[in-house]
Amino acid sequence: MSDYLHDFFDIPSDLQHSWLGLIGLHLREALLPVAAGLLLALPIAQLCVRFRWLYPPVLGVTTVLYAIPSLAFFVVLIDYTGQSELTVMIPLAVYSLVVLVPAIVDGVRSVSEETLAAATAMGFGPVRRYFQVQLPIAVPAIIAGLRVATVSSVSLVSVGMLIGNQGALGNLLHDAQIYNRPELTWNSVITTALLAIVLDALLVLVRVLLTPWMPNRPTRRRPAPALEDAAR
């Protein structure tokens, strides 16, 4: 058992990183695109809320971009960014838009007209109202979008192994075939899955901290009186 664990964490020297180093690299390549996607999605979503006619074409464009296979995206970008982390992160940032834009739009649109009218009456301008009223209320929807985008990004980073070992933990899959070491495959799969689970749990915690007014568990509904009488 000890020998298997040793082999499990024995990372080939050609990857130039330890196991923890690969985890850090994977997190960087996965989270930076999601953060960039969020920064892009916020103003795009606000435009879609303000100009409703803009939402369908924006959603169509993001969906078409999401449909482009990641490997094809990499091949197109290599001529401009080379075999680098940037070549992996740009498509992941673009892919995140298809989740984040609808999440933000739906969350912002869920704010009632009465709330917006009250904010306007208090002297809030459009920008201040967006950041101090609409976005805080839309936090649950935004976090839900971030959870999907983050887990997807963590998974897709591994595809970067196909362009010059830029897949972080995914590079272990390549070396597992070269050196005939199946334990490296298990290392890659298990570690990537654990990263996705941990990040998802952290985002749930962030949602709980930012929205203390929301119930953390569904409330149990009492049965209707007619059902209670029938049960007696």
Tens-digit pLDDT profile for residues 8-62: 667 777 777 888 888 999 999 999 999 999 999 999 998 998 888 999 999 999 9
Assess if residue 191 is contained within a domain.
yes
Assess if residue 232 is contained within a domain.
no
What is the amino acid identity at position 37?
Answer: G
Assess if residue 67 is contained within a domain.
yes
Whole-model pTM?
0.83
CA atoms within a 13 Å half-sphere pointing along the CA-CB vector of 50: 10
pLDDT at 228: 40
Nearest Cα residue to 195 out of 42, 23, 64, 40: 23
State the total domains in the chain: 1
CA angle 200, 204, 205 (to 5 degrees): 115
Q: Where are the alpha helices (DSSP H) in the chain?
A: 2-9, 19-50, 55-67, 70-81, 85-109, 113-121, 126-129, 135-137, 139-156, 171-178, 182-210, 225-231
The residue ranges of the chain whose pLDDT is under 50 are 218-219, 223-232
Q: Furthest-apart CA pair in the chain: how many Å?
A: 75
d(CA 92, CA 140): 22
What is the amino acid identity at position 88?
Answer: V
**Averaged confidence pLDDT in the chain:** 83
Our CA dihedral for 63, 56, 128, 39, rounded to 10 degrees, sits at: 10
Assess if residue 8 is contained within a domain.
no
Assess if residue 221 is contained within a domain.
no
**In CATH, what number is assigned to the domain containing residue 93?**
1.10.3720.10
Assess if residue 10 is contained within a domain.
no
Assess if residue 55 is contained within a domain.
yes
Q: Provide the sign of the torsion angle of the four alpha carbons 164, 166, 170, 171, taken in this order.
A: positive
**Domain of 31?**
17-111+138-212
Under DSSP, the state recorded for 198 is H
pLDDT at 226: 42
Query: In this structure, are residues 157 and 89 in contact, taking their beta carbons and an 8 Å threshold?
Result: no
CA atoms within a 13 Å half-sphere pointing along the CA-CB vector of 139: 17
Q: Give CA 59 to chain center in angstroms.
A: 17
Neighbours of 171 (CB within 10 A): 26
Assess if residue 31 is contained within a domain.
yes
Q: Provide the sign of the torsion angle of the four alpha carbons 223, 226, 231, 232, taken in this order.
A: positive
Name, in order, each residue with C-beta under 8 angstroms of 82's C-beta and a sequence gap of 6 or more. Answer: none
d(CA 175, CA 129): 52
Name, in order, each residue with C-beta under 8 angstroms of 225's C-beta and a sequence gap of 6 or more. Answer: none
